Amino acid sequence: MTTRQRRLGVAMKIMGKPVVKPKGSNYSKYQGRCSPLECKNFPPQGSNQKVSPSFLNRLSLAQVMPWGVAMLLSPTGLPAIAQITSAKDSAGTIVTRDGESFDITGGSLSSGAQPNLFHSFEEFGLDSGQIANFISNNAQVRNILGRVVGGNPSIINGLIKITSTGSPNLYLMNPAGIIFGADARLNVPASFTATTATGIGFGEGNWFDAFGDNNNYQNLIGEPTSFAFDLAQPGSIINAGDLEVPDNQRIALIGGSVINTGQLNAPGGNITIAAVPGESLVKISQSGNLLNLEIEPPRTLDGQPSLITALDIPELLTGQAQGIETGLSANSNGTVQLTDSGTTVPTETGTTIVSGTLDVSSPELRRRSVKVLGDRIAVINATIDSSGGNGGQVWIGKNPQDNPDNVKLNANRTFVSRDSEIKADGKNSDQNGGRVTVWSEETTAFYGEITAGGAKEPTPQARNGRTSDGGTVEISSQQTLIFDGTKVDVTAPLGENGTITFDHNNISIVPGTGIAGQQLADNPLGFDVMEILSGDGGTSGFTLGANALEQVLGNIVLNASNDITAPNVSLNFSGDITIDGVNVTLGDIKTNGGAITITASENLSTQELNSSTTVGKGGDVTLNGGNIQVSWINAQGGSDGKGGNVEITTEGFFRATGTFDTLIEGKE
């Protein structure tokens, strides 16, 4: 070894000659770029040509060791990222390397005027700065679909692009798992779907399978209609990249467990993140760019395919993804933490974790939506934005395509942290706010912020006579509901306020902050995430602090299948209040001119009901119950308005415990 080589660093072997990795170089950035035969400028054995340090930076350990002992390791001892290679099967995929770009041509077409183009890869991975270029010269191709059959996860830390005269959608399927690193990007003309399914279905019985070489590509026509997850533990998906599709398109990440720490952007379009159970079939329907999901029992397989064992998230992070920025860290005890917050999160199949940004906002009038689905969901330090000219939709924990005949994609447990923000505002003054639903079967814990209001000021494009009303927010659980949101706002300065609904079996309102507020004193995120998402079952009660309820801006609905109790609480609202239960027991309620509607199928007992106002008309008061007992009702209007209407309907008795001559105050 020469003196110059010793100064450069640690010696290694290249074709029997000692060479070195320069000290301080970003060596792993270029790992796996070419094999010794592909590096045409490499000095031949016995040559006196010098090897420059810059060229050495481009070599991985697998390249500089003799082929007989080469391993998929980087010089740091970390596994190297598998590059893109075509599978040796009937798909006919051709991968041609041109510098840092992998040009993908060939493939197999389906029949039809708008065919689908299918590719098959042995490995599919990209290092930072590398490009996977799907090339299609057929302008009629509607979908490009690629499968990865080698059994290794896809670690993608570069750019995926499509070069085409048309605008095809792109589907990438790898049952072993998919990770998008912090440098991952998209340059595609339409929608993008990544999935760890083991098959993509077309119609009845036609499958693009991830295993074997029995795909009948000619018959795989039209749009995909289902994803098959044949593994008991489906592969996972992690996104730390900045993935964006063009306006009015779709991004979908569908796997056994899904974690997003990066950014997903689909302006005016739709984002779907779904963690699905193993051994199941996901039926999909596509209305424009909107992806609707339903879970059904698994498909019947003709013979057992050559299935892999997918790695779980801790195994992915400690395998080939080491050295890739994912926003996650794996601990020695097998747990996983979000790097930014240090929050420990579960990773079992069916878990969806959303951090970072999900953004479908657009000034245009679009049918935009964000869906976050799975058995256990946590939204932590996240921004979800579905605002625009008209407010969009956000579904967290509840599948809008819920079908009681099928296994549901509804969450059992849902958590939204205090540092998370959800937006569905309508910004045109002739359009309304959107809809936000946060839901679970067992436990919902909500500490974050939601806005789904109407426009705050007139906009030039507004049509005469149209108003901008507030949207709809539902925060619900079938069993345990915890609420202490920092802000929930569906107000509409130019129209009617929207509605916030709390739906539960039993609702109890207590003075002050309640249980949720007490927990926040110890944990800024709210309840411990693992506590909320772990375990099974829940309680049958919802204890709500009066302080949190009074901070809700808009019309409020409290809906319980059993009882609602707030006997010793005085509540002061800025909008309408609607309360519906079996037995309803309340203290004082004041709405500052908002309407009060209370329904109890059995017994209704309340203290003062005050819907009076100093300006304009007093709020209406409507009471419906089997038996009704009330202390006092005041529906008086201001000096420039009438008193509100008071309507009392009972099948049993009505009793006023206060002074009867002041029971109702109002102006005709």
Q: Which of 17-31, 336-350, 418-432, 649-663 has the lowest mean pLDDT?
A: 17-31
Q: Among 472, 467, 466, which residue's Cα sits nearest to residue 452?
A: 472
Whether the CB-CB separation of 633 and 658 falls below 8 Å is answered with: no
Is pLDDT of 105 > 80? Answer: yes
Q: What is the pLDDT of residue 283?
A: 85
Residue 117, helix vs strand vs coil: strand
- What sign results for the dihedral spanned by CA atoms 102, 104, 105, 106? positive
Confidence of residue 528 (pLDDT cuts 50, 70, 90): low
In sequence order, what DSSP letters do the residues of 623-664 get, joined into one string? Answer: EEEEEEEEEEEE----TTSPPPPEEEEESS-EEE-S-GGGSE
Q: Which comes out higher in pLDDT, residue 343 or 207?
A: 207
Q: Which two tokens stand for residue 301?
A: 């397989």
Count CA within 13 A, CB hemisphere, residue 537. Answer: 2
Confidence of residue 530 (pLDDT cuts 50, 70, 90): low
Is pLDDT of 256 > 70? Answer: yes
Residue 98 burial by CB count (10 A; 0-12/13-18/19+): exposed, middle or buried? exposed
Q: Which two tokens stand for residue 542?
A: 């919802």
142 in a structural domain: yes
Q: Among 547, 534, 391, 543, which residue's Cα sits nearest to residue 477?
A: 543
Is pLDDT of 666 > 70? Answer: no
Q: Which two tokens stand for residue 635?
A: 């529906």
Q: Which comes out higher in pLDDT, residue 273 or 289?
A: 273
Is pLDDT of 22 > 80? Answer: no
The percentage of the chain sitting over the pLDDT mark of 70, rounded to a whole number, equals 76
373 in a structural domain: no
CA 399 to CA 268: how far, in whole Å? 20
Q: What is the pLDDT of residue 341?
A: 81
Rounded mean pLDDT of 511-534? 49
Q: Do residues 16 and 144 share a domain? A: no
| 188-234 per-position pLDDT tens digit | 999 999 999 999 999 888 999 999 999 999 999 999 999 999 998 99
User: What's the maximum distance between 2 C-alpha atoms anywhere in the chain?
Assistant: 112
Buried (b) or exposed (e) across 392-413, using 16+ Cβ within 10 A? bbbbbbbbebeeeebebbbbbb
Give the other-Cβ count within 10 Å of 76's Cβ: 12
Q: What is the pLDDT of residue 553?
A: 86
Whether the CB-CB separation of 32 and 82 falls below 8 Å is answered with: yes
Whether the CB-CB separation of 172 and 144 falls below 8 Å is answered with: no
CA 376 to CA 414: how far, in whole Å? 6
CA 417 to CA 485: how far, in whole Å? 9
**Which residues does 70 contact at the CB level (< 8 Å), separation at least 6?**
61, 62, 63
Q: Which comes out higher in pLDDT, residue 529 or 119?
A: 119
What is the residue-averaged pLDDT of the chain? Answer: 80
Q: Among 452, 451, 453, 439, which residue's Cα sits nearest to residue 483?
A: 439
- Give strand pairing partners of 371: 272, 395
User: Domain range spanning residue 318?
Assistant: 81-301+311-351
CA 141 to CA 168: how far, in whole Å? 6
Q: What is the CATH number of the domain that holds 179?
A: 2.160.20
| 397-413 per-position pLDDT tens digit | 998 865 444 446 889 99
Residue 137 burial by CB count (10 A; 0-12/13-18/19+): exposed, middle or buried? exposed
Q: Which two tokens stand for residue 527?
A: 């309840």
Give CA separation, 612 vs 313, 374, 500, 586, 629, in Å.
Answer: 57, 45, 22, 18, 20
Q: Do residues 112 and 64 share a domain? A: no
Q: Which of 31-35, 214-218, 368-372, 440-444 has the lowest mean pLDDT?
A: 31-35
Q: Do residues 139 and 284 share a domain? A: yes
The percentage of the chain sitting over the pLDDT mark of 90, rounded to a whole number, equals 50
Q: Do residues 172 and 228 share a domain? A: yes
Give CA separation, 155 vs 73, 101, 271, in Å.
Answer: 14, 16, 21
Residue 668 burial by CB count (10 A; 0-12/13-18/19+): exposed, middle or buried? exposed
224 in a structural domain: yes
Is pLDDT of 164 > 90? Answer: yes
Q: Do residues 27 and 149 share a domain? A: no
546 in a structural domain: no
Is pLDDT of 66 > 70? Answer: no
Is pLDDT of 24 > 80? Answer: no
* Of 46, 69, 92, the domain-final residue: 69
Residue with tokens 């007139």: 458
Q: What is the pLDDT of residue 457?
A: 81
Whether the CB-CB separation of 146 and 120 falls below 8 Å is answered with: yes
458 in a structural domain: no
The total of structural domains in the chain comes to: 3
Q: Among 236, 234, 209, 233, which residue's Cα sits nearest to residue 220?
A: 209
Q: Do residues 65 and 85 share a domain? A: no
Give the other-Cβ count within 10 Å of 322's Cβ: 17
Confidence of residue 35 (pLDDT cuts 50, 70, 90): very low
Q: What is the pLDDT of residue 527?
A: 47
Q: Which of 43-47, 358-362, 618-622 has the lowest mean pLDDT?
A: 43-47
Q: What is the pLDDT of residue 108?
A: 98
Rounded to the nearest angstrom, the gap between the alpha carbon of residue 100 and the centroid of all alpha carbons in its chain is 32
Q: Among 344, 346, 390, 343, which residue's Cα sits nearest to residue 367?
A: 390
Q: What is the pLDDT of residue 107?
A: 97
Q: Do residues 44 and 113 share a domain? A: no
CA 29 to CA 348: how far, in whole Å? 31
Q: State which amino acid sits at residue 584.
A: V
Pairing of strands 290-296, 280-287: antiparallel
Whether the CB-CB separation of 289 and 191 falls below 8 Å is answered with: yes
Give CA separation, 520 vs 329, 513, 523, 529, in Å.
Answer: 25, 10, 5, 12
Q: Do residues 85 and 24 share a domain? A: no
Rounded mean pLDDT of 355-367? 90
343 in a structural domain: yes
Q: Do residues 159 and 32 share a domain? A: no
280 in a structural domain: yes
Rounded mean pLDDT of 37-52? 36
- Give strand pairing partners of 98: 101
Q: Which comes out higher in pLDDT, residue 63 or 424?
A: 424
| 121-143 per-position pLDDT tens digit | 999 999 999 999 999 999 999 99
Pairing of strands 143-148, 116-123: parallel
CA 657 to CA 607: how far, in whole Å? 9
Rounded mean pLDDT of 483-509? 85
Confidence of residue 568 (pLDDT cuts 50, 70, 90): confident
In sequence order, what DSSP letters do the residues of 356-391 get, joined into one string? Answer: EEEE--BSS----EEEEESSEEEEEEEEEE--BSS-
Q: Which two tokens stand for residue 405?
A: 């005949």
Q: What is the pLDDT of residue 191?
A: 97
Is pLDDT of 168 > 90? Answer: yes
Q: Do residues 30 and 105 share a domain? A: no
Strands (E), 6-62: 9-14, 17-22
Pairing of strands 154-156, 108-109: unpaired
120 in a structural domain: yes
Q: Which of 24-28, 183-187, 416-420, 622-626 has the lowest mean pLDDT?
A: 24-28
DSSP character at residue 8 = H
Residue with tokens 């890869």: 121
Confidence of residue 649 (pLDDT cuts 50, 70, 90): very high
CA 567 to CA 517: how far, in whole Å? 20
First CA to last CA distance, the chain: 104
Residue 313, helix vs strand vs coil: helix
Q: Do residues 49 and 183 share a domain? A: no
Is pLDDT of 149 > 60? Answer: yes
Q: Do residues 59 and 94 share a domain? A: no
Pairing of strands 93-98, 131-136: unpaired
Is pLDDT of 478 > 50? Answer: yes
Residue 180, helix vs strand vs coil: strand
Q: What is the pLDDT of residue 473?
A: 95
Rounded mean pLDDT of 512-522? 44
CA 125 to CA 522: how far, in whole Å? 43
Q: Which comes out higher in pLDDT, residue 207 or 9?
A: 207
* Of 12, 34, 69, the domain-final residue: 69
